[in-house]
Structures are given as structure tokens and as C-alpha cells.
């Protein structure tokens, strides 16, 4: 499973990237707002920092305007994935942009039928939103599993990008089901290293080491 980090904060991306934990980055208008940066400027900086796909989202609602914005965003760097919403106009934009050779991430997916349409339209990535489904008492992981089955049934190349990940358990389950990629905030990725038994064991080791009176350096 590839790890994308869901943020527009350069320092957070750099820290994870240095550890080899970043295979790409996803951004959206809300994350750009939180960064306080100009979208073109910060996206270019992210693209220079990481080698993998960097999703940059259009804000237009109509297909022709989405296509124009997508082309503008794609000029930033070769590793831009143009992010479009899963609406009929978004699917039209996906078809055109993917046909021009651009990576396209179709976002805000909440059903298997939507994912099927995105694959037919040539999406590079489909982003089903796990956490937002969980919020309304629908199992987001069932959606990941349904999409995995459908894509495998017909050999679609579109990659499943598990999004709206809120917990480390979301990561585990998405990996078990076979999502190609997951995108999560930096805090969730870092929390994957935590376990109470690790902390307990380390504490015991340190107490025993202190009793020896030794030093390594």
C-alpha cells in the first residue's frame, strides 16, 4: 500500500518524506486554506519536495471550467494529479483531462456505482471517503471492499485511494481489503507507530538498564 499524506503543510510533509513514508500528497481547498498559502505557490513547493503524485483540486463546478482549471494546475509540475469531484461535470472533466495524459483523482466518492463511473471515465485514482460514511453510520470499509471487487472483476486500472481516514484502524482495514493507496493526515500516519505494549516494554528495558550503571557512549 502506498501512503499519501493529506495536508498542505510543508514541514509535516518533509518530516514524513525524509523517513520514506510519503509516496504522494493530497490537498483540497480546505487544506490550502489552513496552510494560509497561495495554491499555486504551495502546490509547486510540494511537487518539488516529493516524487509521487500531488493532488490539486479544481474549484469550478461546470465541466469546461474544471477542464481549464485542471490544465492550469497540471502546468505546475509533471507529478500533479488533477482532483475533480464525483459529479457528472466532474466525470466529463475527468474524461477530457485523462485523455490528454493527465493524472486525475476523482474525489468525494460515496458509492460503488460512482466508483464504476469514475473508472469508465479514465480516473487514475478514485477517492472513497471512509470517515464521512462512518459518520452517518454506514461502514466505509464495505465501500472499499465493493470497489475492490468490481475493479478486479473487470480489470480496471483505476487505483483505490482510501480517503477521509480518521484512525489507524482505518489504515489497517483498508490495507487488508486491498486499497492501492491511503491518504491520511500526518498525525494518523505517525500514530501508527504507537502501541501501549511497546511503551511498556521500553519502560521496563530502561529501568533495567539504569540498574546496570552502564553507558554506551
Q: Give the pLDDT band of residue 3 (cuts 50, 70, 90).
A: very high
- What pLDDT is recorded for position 14? 97
Burial 6-39 (b: 16+ CB within 10 A, else e): bbbbeebbeebbeeebbbbbbbbeebbeebebeb
Q: Looking at the 3D structure of the chain, how many domains does it have? A: 1
Residue with cell 501508527: 192
- What pLDDT is recorded for position 142? 97
Helix (H, G, I), strand (E, B) or coil at 93: helix
- Across the range 190-210, mean pLDDT stands at 96
- Which is it for strands 159-162 and 181-184: parallel, antiparallel or unpaired? parallel
- As beta bridge partners, residue 104 has 82
| Angle subtended at Cα 31 by Cα 25 and Cα 35, rounded to the nearest 5 degrees | 100
Residue with cell 480518521: 166
- What pLDDT is recorded for position 191? 97
- Across the range 33-45, mean pLDDT stands at 93
Catalytic residues, by residue number, are 83
Asked whether residue 120 is assigned to any structural domain, the reply reads yes
Mean pLDDT for the chain?
97
Asked whether residue 195 is assigned to any structural domain, the reply reads yes
DSSP 59: -
- What pLDDT is recorded for position 7? 96
Residues 6 or more apart whose CB falls under 8 angstroms from that of 44 comprise 76, 77
Q: Give the pLDDT band of residue 12 (cuts 50, 70, 90).
A: very high
Count other Cβ atoms within 10 Å, centred on residue 92: 17
- Across the range 210-217, mean pLDDT stands at 95
The answer to whether 21 and 3 have CB atoms below 8 angstroms apart is yes
- What pLDDT is recorded for position 114? 98
Asked whether residue 47 is assigned to any structural domain, the reply reads yes
- Across the range 127-150, mean pLDDT stands at 97
Q: What is the CATH number of the domain that holds 126?
A: 3.20.20.70
| Angle subtended at Cα 67 by Cα 64 and Cα 68, rounded to the nearest 5 degrees | 90
Asked whether residue 217 is assigned to any structural domain, the reply reads no
Asked whether residue 114 is assigned to any structural domain, the reply reads yes
User: pLDDT, tens digit, for every residue of 46-66?
Assistant: 999 999 999 999 999 999 999
Give CA–CA dist 169/184, Å, rounded. 12
The answer to whether 26 and 105 have CB atoms below 8 angstroms apart is yes
DSSP-derived secondary structure for 114-160: HHHHHHHTT-SEEEEBHHHHHHTT--HHHHHHHHHHHHHHHT--PEE
- Across the range 56-78, mean pLDDT stands at 97
Asked whether residue 155 is assigned to any structural domain, the reply reads yes
Containing domain of residue 31, as a range? Answer: 2-212
Q: How many angstroms from the chain centroid is the CA of residue 136?
A: 21
Amino acid at each position: 500500500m502506498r501512503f499519501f499524506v493529506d495536508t498542505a503543510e510543508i514541514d509535516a510533509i518533509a518530516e514524513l518524506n525524509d523517513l520514506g513514508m510519503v509516496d504522494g500528497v493530497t490537498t483540497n481547498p480546505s487544506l490550502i486554506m489552513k496552510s494560509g498559502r497561495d495554491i499555486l505557490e504551495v502546490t509547486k513547493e510540494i511537487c518539488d519536495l516529493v516524487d509521487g503524485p500531488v493532488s490539486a483540486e479544481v474549484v469550478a463546478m461546470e465541466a469546461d471550467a474544471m477542464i481549464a482549471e485542471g490544465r492550469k494546475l497540471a502546468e505546475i509540475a509533471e507529478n500533479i494529479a488533477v482532483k475533480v469531484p464525483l459529479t457528472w461535470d466532474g466525470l466529463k472533466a475527468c474524461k477530457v483531462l485523462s485523455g490528454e495524459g493527465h493524472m486525475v483523482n476523482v474525489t468525494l466518492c460515496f458509492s460503488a456505482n460512482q466508483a464504476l463511473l469514475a473508472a469508465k471515465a479514465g480516473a487514475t485514482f478514485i477517492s472513497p471517503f471512509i470517515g464521512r460514511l462512518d459518520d452517518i453510520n454506514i461502514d466505509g470499509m464495505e465501500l472499499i471492499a465493493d470497489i475492490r471487487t468490481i475493479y478486479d472483476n473487470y480489470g480496471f486500472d483505476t487505483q483505490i485511494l482510501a480517503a477521509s481516514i480518521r484512525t489507524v484502524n482505518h489504515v489497517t482495514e483498508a490495507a487488508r481489503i486491498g486499497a492501492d493507496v491511503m491518504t491520511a493526515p500526518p498525525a494518523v500516519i505517525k500514530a501508527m507507530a504507537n502501541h501501549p505494549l511497546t511503551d511498556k516494554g521500553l519502560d521496563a528495558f530502561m529501568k533495567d538498564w539504569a540498574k546496570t550503571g552502564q553507558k554506551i557512549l
